[in-house]
Amino acid sequence: MTAQPSGDRVSTGVPGLDDMLRGGLIPGRPYVVSGTTGSGKSILAIQFLHQGVKQGERALLVAIDEPPVEIRENVRALGWDVGKIRILDVHPASKSFSKRVSMVEVAAQRSVGSLRDAGPSAKTEAMKQTAPEISIPSLQLMLKQELQDVKYSRVVIDSLTSLKHLSEMMDDLSTSIVSLLRFLSESGVTSLIVTDLPDQTELEPEIFISRGEIRLHKRMVANKTDRCVTIEKFRGSQHDTMPRPMTITETGVSVDSRKKIPKTTMKMLQAFTQYGR
């Protein structure tokens, strides 16, 4: 049974996760959704935006990793109507990026499609060659323009990791991330910043700066994917400190907030996260 988020909380749209967050996210703050590749970050983030549009809110997806046509296809497979989610295509190879922003349905570009299967560094290198000018500050400027025009309640950046790889100014990275998160917070939007973790011991700057971190975990057990979620941090609120099992099905992500995870999974988590400290 999922608790209805009280008036002062924002529903994530993920059954069970709102319970772990004691009603949902605190509005107007930036949060990190972290995890390894395939852990379900993108699906969870879009589910969060979908929940917004279901409630009549405006929702914006800043798409860096995947072109909008692919996102729309993936989401349609989940049976969601994403027509109302605005997708800002910030891939450097996209026409809309080079022209600056607005809407976005750019046909899948060959360079993007063929890069999806490449390793992260090859991908980043090739992306850099197509457009070196993308950076966290330039994204912030784009967002500023976008948020001036439309009153969004929910924003997702998927992913900050790709954006960081594309940014040249590595020295100023933490400062740009602080500035971006601050901007989002001042804009009053509730935002999810998607962060890839190469492994579960990694701690990126945005994790320290954000107001909370929802971490997704997955491992293969006997050819089956075993998934769970932890709330690593949630400022200003109580939260569930136990890992809870998570599933991804044809209806999206869901969390069983009353169930314990298997002992073996718990042991694996203890090696990596706060549960071992």
Give the footprint of Mg ion on this chain (CB under 5 A): 42
Backbone angles phi, psi at 226, to 5 degrees: -105, 120
Applying CB under 6 A, does 121 fall inside the site for ligand ADP?
Answer: no
Contacting residue, 3, 43, 173, 242, with ligand ADP by CB under 6 A: 43
Tell whether omega for the bond before 96 is within 30 degrees of 0, i.e. cis: no
Applying CB under 6 A, does 38 fall inside the site for ligand ADP?
Answer: yes
For ligand ADP, the closer CB: 37 or 274: 37
Q: Taking the CB of residue 81, how many other CB atoms lie within 10 A of it?
A: 11
Between the alpha carbon of residue 155 and those of residues 2, 27, 129, 150, the distances in Å are 23, 12, 28, 12
Would strands 30-35 and 59-63 be described as parallel, antiparallel, or unpaired?
Answer: unpaired
Applying CB under 6 A, does 42 fall inside the site for ligand ADP?
Answer: yes
| 127 class by beta-carbon count within 10 Å (0-12 exposed, 13-18 middle, 19+ buried) | buried
- With CB under 6 A as the rule, give the number of residues binding ligand ADP: 11
Q: How far is the CB of 202 from ligand ADP (least distance, A)?
A: 14
| 257 class by beta-carbon count within 10 Å (0-12 exposed, 13-18 middle, 19+ buried) | buried
Partner from ligand ADP, Mg ion, none contacting 201, C-beta within 5 to 8 A by type: none
Applying CB under 6 A, does 12 fall inside the site for ligand ADP?
Answer: no
Partner from ligand ADP, Mg ion, none contacting 16, C-beta within 5 to 8 A by type: none
Q: How far is the CB of 104 from ligand ADP (least distance, A)?
A: 19
Q: How far is the CB of 233 from ligand ADP (least distance, A)?
A: 19
Contacting residue, 30, 35, 68, 212, with ligand ADP by CB under 6 A: 35
Binding flags for ligand ADP, 237-256, as an x/- string (CB under 6 A): -----------xxx------
Determine contact, residues 265/226, Cβ cutoff 8 Å: yes
Determine contact, residues 135/92, Cβ cutoff 8 Å: no
What is the binding site for ligand ADP (CB under 6 A)?
A: 35, 37-43, 248-250
